[in-house]
């Protein structure tokens, strides 16, 4: 997933972006991304840095092992350890 999200050039990501959005915040974010992509220079460097950070964050999240949900026995044990009344 991280490779798919961050392994593409800026203009490749823009090719799949819709023309209209249901949420104004999404549209504003994409318009800012477009501006940075087309402006070049320091803006392109900032996008590259952002993509590196996003990639790292996605990898960290993907590598985390999900904590299993507690069972009924676990909940009863927690209550006993906390000395809660039955």
Give residue 42's pLDDT.
Answer: 85
Q: What is the DSSP string of 35-75?
A: HHHHH-THHHHHHHHHHHHHHHHHHHHHHSPPPPPPPHHHH
- Total count of domains within the chain: 1
Calculate helix-pair angle for 42-63, 24-39, nearest 10 degrees. Answer: 130
- Distance (Å, rounded) from C-alpha 56 to C-alpha 32? 22
Residue of 64 and 5 predicted with greater confidence: 64
pLDDT at 55 over 70: yes
Q: What is the pLDDT of residues 24-39, one digit of tens each?
A: 888 888 788 778 777 8
Residue 61 Cα to chain centre, angstroms: 9
Residue 86 lies in a domain: no
What pLDDT, on the 0 to 100 scale, is given for residue 15?
59
pTM for the structure as a whole: 0.42
- DSSP symbol at 22: S
What is the per-residue pLDDT for 60?
83
Say if residue 12's pLDDT is above 60.
no
Parent domain of 61? 2-81
């Amino acid at each position: 997933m991280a490779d798919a999200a961050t392994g593409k050039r800026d203009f490749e990501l823009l090719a799949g972006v819709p023309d209209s959005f249901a949420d104004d915040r999404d549209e504003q974010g994409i318009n800012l991304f477009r501006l940075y992509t087309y402006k070049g220079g320091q803006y392109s460097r900032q996008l590259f840095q952002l993509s590196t950070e996003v990639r790292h964050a996605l990898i960290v999240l993907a590598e985390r092992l999900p904590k299993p949900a507690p069972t009924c026995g676990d909940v009863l044990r927690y209550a006993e350890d906390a000395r809660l009344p039955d």
